[in-house]
Chain A
Amino acid sequence: SAVISQKPSRDICQRGTSLTIQCQVDSQVTMMFWYRQQPGQSLTLIATANQGSEATYESGFVIDKFPISRPNLTFSTLTVSNMSPEDSSIYLCSALGFGGTNYGYTFGSGTRLTVV
Chain B
Amino acid sequence: AQTVTQSQPEMSVQEAETVTLSCTYDTSESDYYLFWYKQPPSRQMILVIRQEAYKQQNATENRFSVNFQKAAKSFSLKISDSQLGDAAMYFCAYRSATDSWGKLQFGAGTQVVVTP
Contacts and interface: CB of A to CB of B under 8 A. Distances in A.
B28 interface: no
Nearest to B95: A105
Interface in B42-74: 42-45, 47, 52
Contact of B101 (A31, A103, A112): A31
Interface in A80-114: 90, 92, 94, 96, 101, 103-105, 107, 109-110, 112
> Could you say which interface size class chain B belongs to?
10 to 19
B100 to A, nearest CB: 9
User: Binding site of B, secondary structure by majority: helix, strand, loop or mixed?
Assistant: loop
B19 interface: no
Nearest to A95: B102
A73 B47 CA distance: 22
Nearest to A1: B47
A92 B103 CA distance: 14
B106 interface: yes
B91 A45 contact: no
B52 A101 contact: yes
Given A92-B45, A107-B45, A42 B101 contact: no
A104 B45 CA distance: 12
Interface of B: 35, 42-45, 47, 52, 89, 91, 101-104, 106-109, 111
15 contacts: A33-B104, A40-B109, A40-B111, A41-B109, A43-B91, A45-B104, A90-B43, A92-B43, A92-B45, A104-B47, A105-B47, A109-B43, A110-B43, A110-B44, A112-B43
